[in-house]
Structure 1
Protein backbone atom coordinates (compact mmCIF):
# COMPACT_ATOMS: atom_id res chain seq x y z
CA UNK A 1 0.00 0.00 0.00
CA UNK A 2 1.38 3.39 -0.91
CA UNK A 3 0.15 6.87 -1.48
CA UNK A 4 1.76 9.90 -3.06
CA UNK A 5 1.36 13.28 -1.44
CA UNK A 6 2.20 16.56 -3.16
CA UNK A 7 4.05 19.07 -0.99
CA UNK A 8 3.53 22.70 -2.08
CA UNK A 9 5.80 25.39 -0.68
CA UNK A 10 4.42 28.80 0.44
CA UNK A 11 5.58 30.38 -2.80
CA UNK A 12 2.97 28.28 -4.56
CA UNK A 13 5.58 26.44 -6.59
CA UNK A 14 5.43 22.70 -6.31
CA UNK A 15 8.88 21.61 -5.28
CA UNK A 16 8.40 17.89 -5.74
CA UNK A 17 6.02 15.04 -5.39
CA UNK A 18 6.97 12.56 -2.72
CA UNK A 19 5.56 9.09 -2.33
CA UNK A 20 5.14 8.83 1.42
CA UNK A 21 6.98 5.86 2.83
CA UNK A 22 3.78 4.42 4.21
CA UNK A 23 4.32 1.65 1.68
CA UNK A 24 6.66 0.23 4.31
CA UNK A 25 5.07 1.67 7.43
CA UNK A 26 1.48 0.51 7.00
CA UNK A 27 2.22 -3.22 6.70
CA UNK A 28 4.31 -3.00 9.88
CA UNK A 29 1.44 -1.38 11.72
CA UNK A 30 -0.98 -4.03 10.53
CA UNK A 31 1.31 -6.78 11.81
CA UNK A 32 0.98 -5.22 15.25
CA UNK A 33 -2.83 -5.43 14.95
CA UNK A 34 -3.63 -1.77 14.30
CA UNK A 35 -5.07 -1.02 10.88
CA UNK A 36 -4.52 2.58 9.74
CA UNK A 37 -7.21 4.57 7.96
CA UNK A 38 -6.58 7.47 5.60
CA UNK A 39 -7.42 10.95 6.80
CA UNK A 40 -7.73 12.50 10.25
CA UNK A 41 -9.65 11.02 13.16
CA UNK A 42 -13.43 11.14 13.04
CA UNK A 43 -15.36 13.25 15.55
CA UNK A 44 -17.99 10.89 16.96
CA UNK A 45 -20.79 11.98 19.24
CA UNK A 46 -20.09 11.30 22.90
CA UNK A 47 -22.33 10.62 25.87
CA UNK A 48 -24.41 13.68 26.67
CA UNK A 49 -24.41 14.87 30.30
CA UNK A 50 -21.69 12.33 31.10
CA UNK A 51 -21.22 11.72 34.83
CA UNK A 52 -17.57 10.94 35.59
CA UNK A 53 -18.36 9.70 39.11
CA UNK A 54 -20.91 7.17 37.90
CA UNK A 55 -18.34 5.73 35.51
CA UNK A 56 -16.04 4.76 38.38
CA UNK A 57 -15.57 1.11 39.31
CA UNK A 58 -14.64 -2.02 37.39
CA UNK A 59 -15.17 -2.48 33.67
CA UNK A 60 -14.47 -5.73 31.81
CA UNK A 61 -13.46 -5.82 28.16
CA UNK A 62 -16.09 -7.72 26.17
CA UNK A 63 -15.04 -6.99 22.60
CA UNK A 64 -12.50 -4.72 20.91
CA UNK A 65 -10.63 -3.76 17.80
CA UNK A 66 -7.36 -5.71 18.01
CA UNK A 67 -4.63 -3.70 19.73
CA UNK A 68 -0.93 -4.49 19.98
CA UNK A 69 -0.80 -3.47 23.65
CA UNK A 70 -3.55 -5.92 24.63
CA UNK A 71 -2.34 -9.47 24.14
CA UNK A 72 -3.82 -11.24 27.14
CA UNK A 73 -7.27 -12.22 28.35
CA UNK A 74 -9.50 -11.43 31.31
CA UNK A 75 -8.83 -7.74 30.63
CA UNK A 76 -10.27 -5.50 33.31
CA UNK A 77 -9.95 -1.79 34.10
CA UNK A 78 -10.79 -0.23 37.43
CA UNK A 79 -11.42 3.50 37.88
CA UNK A 80 -11.17 5.10 41.34
CA UNK A 81 -12.03 8.76 41.86
CA UNK A 82 -9.30 10.84 43.52
CA UNK A 83 -9.58 13.97 45.69
CA UNK A 84 -8.25 16.16 42.87
CA UNK A 85 -11.03 15.10 40.50
CA UNK A 86 -8.89 12.74 38.44
CA UNK A 87 -9.28 8.96 38.50
CA UNK A 88 -6.72 6.31 39.32
CA UNK A 89 -6.79 3.67 36.59
CA UNK A 90 -5.58 0.11 37.09
CA UNK A 91 -5.76 -2.13 34.05
CA UNK A 92 -5.03 -5.84 34.27
CA UNK A 93 -4.85 -8.90 32.05
CA UNK A 94 -3.74 -12.49 32.27
CA UNK A 95 -0.85 -13.16 29.90
CA UNK A 96 0.89 -16.53 29.72
CA UNK A 97 -0.63 -17.52 33.04
CA UNK A 98 0.53 -14.41 34.89
CA UNK A 99 -1.49 -11.43 36.07
CA UNK A 100 -0.10 -8.24 34.53
CA UNK A 101 -1.19 -4.81 35.78
CA UNK A 102 -0.48 -1.24 34.80
CA UNK A 103 -1.49 1.93 36.63
CA UNK A 104 -2.34 5.32 35.19
CA UNK A 105 -4.51 8.40 35.49
CA UNK A 106 -7.73 9.44 33.79
CA UNK A 107 -8.80 13.07 33.50
CA UNK A 108 -11.69 15.00 32.02
CA UNK A 109 -9.81 16.98 29.38
CA UNK A 110 -12.68 19.27 28.36
CA UNK A 111 -15.16 20.38 31.04
CA UNK A 112 -17.60 21.33 28.30
CA UNK A 113 -17.55 17.75 27.03
CA UNK A 114 -16.85 15.56 30.10
CA UNK A 115 -17.24 12.31 28.12
CA UNK A 116 -13.93 13.08 26.38
CA UNK A 117 -11.51 11.58 28.86
CA UNK A 118 -7.76 11.31 28.56
CA UNK A 119 -5.72 8.45 30.02
CA UNK A 120 -1.98 8.25 30.58
CA UNK A 121 -0.01 5.33 31.95
CA UNK A 122 3.24 7.29 32.20
CA UNK A 123 4.30 10.60 33.72
CA UNK A 124 6.25 11.45 30.58
CA UNK A 125 3.61 10.60 27.99
CA UNK A 126 0.66 12.81 27.03
CA UNK A 127 -2.91 11.77 27.67
CA UNK A 128 -4.45 9.66 24.95
CA UNK A 129 -8.14 10.05 24.02
CA UNK A 130 -10.59 7.77 25.83
CA UNK A 131 -14.00 8.89 24.68
CA UNK A 132 -17.21 7.50 26.15
CA UNK A 133 -19.58 7.36 23.21
CA UNK A 134 -22.40 5.87 25.24
CA UNK A 135 -23.01 4.12 28.56
CA UNK A 136 -25.79 3.23 30.97
CA UNK A 137 -23.17 3.21 33.79
CA UNK A 138 -24.57 0.02 35.28
CA UNK A 139 -24.01 -2.64 32.63
CA UNK A 140 -22.28 -1.50 29.41
CA UNK A 141 -20.12 1.21 27.87
CA UNK A 142 -18.95 2.03 24.34
CA UNK A 143 -15.47 3.58 24.24
CA UNK A 144 -13.40 5.00 21.38
CA UNK A 145 -9.84 6.28 21.00
CA UNK A 146 -8.07 7.68 17.96
CA UNK A 147 -4.63 9.09 17.17
CA UNK A 148 -3.78 11.21 14.10
CA UNK A 149 -0.50 10.54 12.31
CA UNK A 150 0.57 13.72 10.52
CA UNK A 151 -3.07 14.29 9.53
CA UNK A 152 -2.45 11.79 6.73
CA UNK A 153 -3.95 8.78 8.45
CA UNK A 154 -5.17 7.69 11.85
CA UNK A 155 -5.11 4.69 14.15
CA UNK A 156 -8.21 3.97 16.16
CA UNK A 157 -9.22 1.71 19.01
CA UNK A 158 -12.70 0.68 20.10
CA UNK A 159 -14.06 -1.25 23.03
CA UNK A 160 -17.38 -2.50 24.29
CA UNK A 161 -17.16 -2.89 28.06
CA UNK A 162 -19.36 -4.53 30.65
CA UNK A 163 -19.74 -4.35 34.41
CA UNK A 164 -19.59 -8.14 34.38
CA UNK A 165 -17.46 -10.55 32.37
CA UNK A 166 -20.16 -11.05 29.76
CA UNK A 167 -22.84 -9.06 27.98
CA UNK A 168 -25.99 -10.19 26.18
CA UNK A 169 -25.53 -10.34 22.38
CA UNK A 170 -28.15 -7.60 22.07
CA UNK A 171 -25.96 -5.23 24.12
CA UNK A 172 -22.90 -6.00 21.98
CA UNK A 173 -24.95 -5.45 18.82
CA UNK A 174 -26.22 -2.14 20.22
CA UNK A 175 -22.62 -1.05 20.88
CA UNK A 176 -21.60 -1.88 17.33
CA UNK A 177 -24.58 0.08 16.02
CA UNK A 178 -23.31 3.13 17.93
CA UNK A 179 -19.92 2.80 16.24
CA UNK A 180 -21.55 2.35 12.83
CA UNK A 181 -23.73 5.43 13.36
CA UNK A 182 -20.52 7.41 13.91
CA UNK A 183 -18.91 5.91 10.78
CA UNK A 184 -16.36 3.94 12.80
CA UNK A 185 -15.45 0.63 11.19
CA UNK A 186 -15.58 -2.15 13.79
CA UNK A 187 -15.88 -5.06 11.36
CA UNK A 188 -12.60 -6.44 12.76
CA UNK A 189 -13.80 -6.48 16.36
CA UNK A 190 -12.92 -9.62 18.33
CA UNK A 191 -14.20 -10.95 21.63
CA UNK A 192 -11.97 -10.91 24.71
CA UNK A 193 -11.76 -14.14 26.69
CA UNK A 194 -13.25 -13.67 30.12
CA UNK A 195 -13.41 -17.28 31.38
CA UNK A 196 -11.66 -18.95 34.35
CA UNK A 197 -10.10 -15.64 35.26
CA UNK A 198 -9.93 -16.19 39.01
CA UNK A 199 -8.43 -19.64 39.08
CA UNK A 200 -5.76 -19.28 36.40
CA UNK A 201 -3.36 -16.98 38.28
Structure 2
Protein backbone atom coordinates (compact mmCIF):
# COMPACT_ATOMS: atom_id res chain seq x y z
CA UNK A 1 0.00 0.00 0.00
CA UNK A 2 1.53 3.33 -1.01
CA UNK A 3 1.78 6.24 1.40
CA UNK A 4 -0.49 8.32 -0.86
CA UNK A 5 -3.20 5.66 -0.80
CA UNK A 6 -2.91 5.43 3.00
CA UNK A 7 -3.31 9.20 3.34
CA UNK A 8 -6.43 9.09 1.14
CA UNK A 9 -7.92 6.39 3.36
CA UNK A 10 -7.20 8.33 6.55
CA UNK A 11 -8.20 11.76 5.26
CA UNK A 12 -11.92 11.41 6.09
CA UNK A 13 -10.97 10.56 9.68
CA UNK A 14 -9.09 13.79 10.12
CA UNK A 15 -11.08 16.12 7.89
CA UNK A 16 -12.69 17.83 10.89
CA UNK A 17 -9.35 18.23 12.63
CA UNK A 18 -6.26 20.32 11.85
CA UNK A 19 -3.66 18.20 10.12
CA UNK A 20 -0.18 18.93 8.76
CA UNK A 21 2.55 17.01 6.95
CA UNK A 22 5.36 15.56 9.01
CA UNK A 23 5.64 14.23 12.55
CA UNK A 24 4.24 15.90 15.66
CA UNK A 25 6.13 18.87 17.06
CA UNK A 26 7.33 18.81 20.66
CA UNK A 27 6.42 22.12 22.30
CA UNK A 28 7.71 23.14 25.72
CA UNK A 29 5.40 22.47 28.65
CA UNK A 30 4.74 24.36 31.88
CA UNK A 31 7.95 24.38 33.95
CA UNK A 32 7.51 22.81 37.40
CA UNK A 33 3.93 21.79 36.61
CA UNK A 34 1.97 21.16 39.84
CA UNK A 35 -0.84 18.65 39.38
CA UNK A 36 -2.43 19.44 42.75
CA UNK A 37 -2.92 23.08 41.74
CA UNK A 38 -4.27 22.02 38.33
CA UNK A 39 -7.02 19.81 39.77
CA UNK A 40 -10.60 21.02 39.59
CA UNK A 41 -12.92 22.39 36.94
CA UNK A 42 -11.76 23.95 33.66
CA UNK A 43 -14.10 25.45 31.08
CA UNK A 44 -13.32 25.20 27.39
CA UNK A 45 -12.90 28.69 25.94
CA UNK A 46 -11.69 27.73 22.45
CA UNK A 47 -10.26 24.71 20.65
CA UNK A 48 -9.02 23.36 17.38
CA UNK A 49 -11.82 21.19 15.96
CA UNK A 50 -12.30 17.75 17.49
CA UNK A 51 -14.96 15.65 15.79
CA UNK A 52 -15.94 13.91 19.04
CA UNK A 53 -16.28 17.11 21.08
CA UNK A 54 -19.30 18.85 19.62
CA UNK A 55 -21.70 20.83 21.72
CA UNK A 56 -21.68 23.74 24.13
CA UNK A 57 -20.98 24.31 27.80
CA UNK A 58 -17.91 22.05 27.54
CA UNK A 59 -15.93 21.54 30.73
CA UNK A 60 -13.36 19.17 32.20
CA UNK A 61 -12.91 18.30 35.84
CA UNK A 62 -9.68 16.77 37.16
CA UNK A 63 -9.65 14.93 40.49
CA UNK A 64 -7.60 12.34 42.33
CA UNK A 65 -9.44 9.04 42.83
CA UNK A 66 -9.18 7.03 46.06
CA UNK A 67 -6.77 4.63 44.30
CA UNK A 68 -4.47 7.56 43.45
CA UNK A 69 -5.22 7.72 39.73
CA UNK A 70 -6.24 10.96 38.06
CA UNK A 71 -9.90 11.13 37.03
CA UNK A 72 -10.80 13.32 34.06
CA UNK A 73 -14.52 13.92 33.71
CA UNK A 74 -15.65 15.86 30.66
CA UNK A 75 -19.16 17.22 30.23
CA UNK A 76 -20.90 18.95 27.35
CA UNK A 77 -24.40 19.85 26.32
CA UNK A 78 -25.22 18.32 22.93
CA UNK A 79 -28.54 17.58 21.22
CA UNK A 80 -30.57 18.69 24.27
CA UNK A 81 -28.69 16.37 26.65
CA UNK A 82 -25.72 16.49 28.97
CA UNK A 83 -23.07 14.07 27.70
CA UNK A 84 -20.34 12.71 29.98
CA UNK A 85 -17.02 11.07 29.27
CA UNK A 86 -14.80 9.81 32.06
CA UNK A 87 -11.16 9.01 31.55
CA UNK A 88 -7.90 8.53 33.35
CA UNK A 89 -4.86 10.76 33.15
CA UNK A 90 -1.27 9.84 33.93
CA UNK A 91 1.91 11.85 34.11
CA UNK A 92 3.73 10.55 31.04
CA UNK A 93 7.21 11.67 32.05
CA UNK A 94 8.04 12.35 35.72
CA UNK A 95 10.89 14.65 34.55
CA UNK A 96 8.32 16.74 32.65
CA UNK A 97 5.09 16.55 34.71
CA UNK A 98 3.27 18.95 32.34
CA UNK A 99 3.18 16.09 29.83
CA UNK A 100 0.08 14.15 30.78
CA UNK A 101 -1.56 11.32 28.90
CA UNK A 102 -5.34 10.82 28.89
CA UNK A 103 -7.36 7.75 27.91
CA UNK A 104 -11.12 7.29 27.88
CA UNK A 105 -11.09 3.52 27.44
CA UNK A 106 -9.10 0.51 28.61
CA UNK A 107 -8.64 -0.32 24.94
CA UNK A 108 -7.12 2.95 23.73
CA UNK A 109 -3.62 4.24 24.38
CA UNK A 110 -3.01 7.42 26.32
CA UNK A 111 -3.19 10.52 24.13
CA UNK A 112 -0.91 13.45 24.85
CA UNK A 113 -2.35 16.22 27.01
CA UNK A 114 0.47 18.70 27.33
CA UNK A 115 -0.05 21.73 29.52
CA UNK A 116 1.98 24.42 27.74
CA UNK A 117 1.20 27.11 30.28
CA UNK A 118 -1.11 27.66 33.22
CA UNK A 119 -1.43 30.07 36.10
CA UNK A 120 -3.68 27.46 37.83
CA UNK A 121 -6.25 30.12 38.81
CA UNK A 122 -7.58 31.43 35.51
CA UNK A 123 -5.91 30.04 32.34
CA UNK A 124 -4.53 26.84 30.88
CA UNK A 125 -3.23 26.25 27.35
CA UNK A 126 -3.17 22.59 26.31
CA UNK A 127 -1.74 20.90 23.22
CA UNK A 128 -2.02 17.39 21.87
CA UNK A 129 -0.94 15.70 18.66
CA UNK A 130 -1.54 12.38 16.94
CA UNK A 131 1.20 11.21 14.59
CA UNK A 132 0.28 9.01 11.62
CA UNK A 133 3.33 7.04 10.48
CA UNK A 134 5.40 10.25 10.69
CA UNK A 135 3.78 11.19 7.36
CA UNK A 136 1.33 13.68 8.86
CA UNK A 137 -0.04 14.69 12.22
CA UNK A 138 -3.26 16.06 13.66
CA UNK A 139 -3.03 19.01 16.03
CA UNK A 140 -5.39 19.52 18.95
CA UNK A 141 -5.28 22.58 21.17
CA UNK A 142 -7.47 23.99 23.90
CA UNK A 143 -7.67 27.28 25.72
CA UNK A 144 -9.24 26.61 29.11
CA UNK A 145 -10.37 28.91 31.88
CA UNK A 146 -11.49 28.58 35.47
CA UNK A 147 -14.48 30.70 34.44
CA UNK A 148 -16.67 30.31 31.34
CA UNK A 149 -15.39 33.55 29.82
CA UNK A 150 -11.91 35.06 29.72
CA UNK A 151 -10.89 38.65 28.97
CA UNK A 152 -9.88 39.16 25.30
CA UNK A 153 -6.27 39.98 26.31
CA UNK A 154 -6.00 36.65 28.15
CA UNK A 155 -7.33 34.75 25.10
CA UNK A 156 -4.84 36.59 22.85
CA UNK A 157 -2.03 35.68 25.23
CA UNK A 158 -3.10 32.00 25.09
CA UNK A 159 -3.29 32.10 21.29
CA UNK A 160 0.20 33.58 21.14
CA UNK A 161 1.55 30.76 23.32
CA UNK A 162 0.26 28.29 20.73
CA UNK A 163 1.45 30.35 17.76
CA UNK A 164 4.94 30.66 19.31
CA UNK A 165 5.05 26.85 19.45
CA UNK A 166 4.15 26.62 15.75
CA UNK A 167 0.49 25.63 16.18
CA UNK A 168 -1.73 26.80 13.32
CA UNK A 169 -4.83 28.46 14.81
CA UNK A 170 -6.66 29.09 11.54
CA UNK A 171 -9.41 26.60 12.50
CA UNK A 172 -9.59 27.45 16.20
CA UNK A 173 -13.19 28.02 17.25
CA UNK A 174 -14.68 29.68 20.31
CA UNK A 175 -16.73 27.32 22.48
CA UNK A 176 -20.29 28.44 23.23
CA UNK A 177 -20.52 28.93 26.99
CA UNK A 178 -23.65 31.11 26.98
CA UNK A 179 -26.65 30.08 29.05
CA UNK A 180 -24.72 27.27 30.72
CA UNK A 181 -25.16 25.97 34.24
CA UNK A 182 -22.59 23.92 36.10
CA UNK A 183 -23.06 20.30 35.22
| TM, length-normalised to structure 2 | 0.94
Map residues 5-24 of structure 1 onto 2, 5 A cutoff.
18=2, 20-22=4-6, 24=8
User: 1:146 maps to what in 2?
Assistant: 129
Deviation at 1:198, TM superposition (A): 2.3
CA distance in 2, matches of 1:90, 1:53: 16
SS, match of residue 53 in structure 1: helix
19-28 or 165-174: which moved more? 19-28
Give the length in aligned residue pairs. Answer: 183
Deviations 1:86-112 (CA, angstroms, capped at 9, x unpaired): 311110000011000011111111100
Query: CA distance change for structure 1 residues 162 and 189 in 2, over 3 Å: closer, same or farther?
Result: same
Deviation at 1:82, TM superposition (A): 2.8
The RMSD of aligned alpha carbons is: 1.8
| Structure 2 segments unaligned to the other structure (5+ residues) | none
User: 2:9 maps to what in 1?
Assistant: 25
Deviations 1:181-200 (CA, angstroms, capped at 9, x unpaired): 1111112110000011129x
8 A Cα contact 1:26 1:36, kept in partner: no
8 A Cα contact 2:73 2:87, kept in partner: yes
84-93 or 189-198: which moved more? 84-93
SS, match of residue 170 in structure 2: coil
Q: 2:156 aligns with which of 159, 163, 173?
A: 173
Structure with higher Rg: it is 1
Runs of 4+ in 1 over 3 A off after TM superposition: none
| Structure 1 segments unaligned to the other structure (5+ residues) | 1-16
Query: Bigger relative contact order, structure 1 or 2, given CA contacts below 8 A and separation 6+?
Result: 2
| TM, length-normalised to structure 1 | 0.86
Map residues 32-181 of structure 1 onto 2, 5 A cutoff.
33-181=16-164
Query: CA distance change for structure 1 residues 109 and 83 in 2, over 3 Å: closer, same or farther?
Result: farther
Deviation at 1:125, TM superposition (A): 1.1
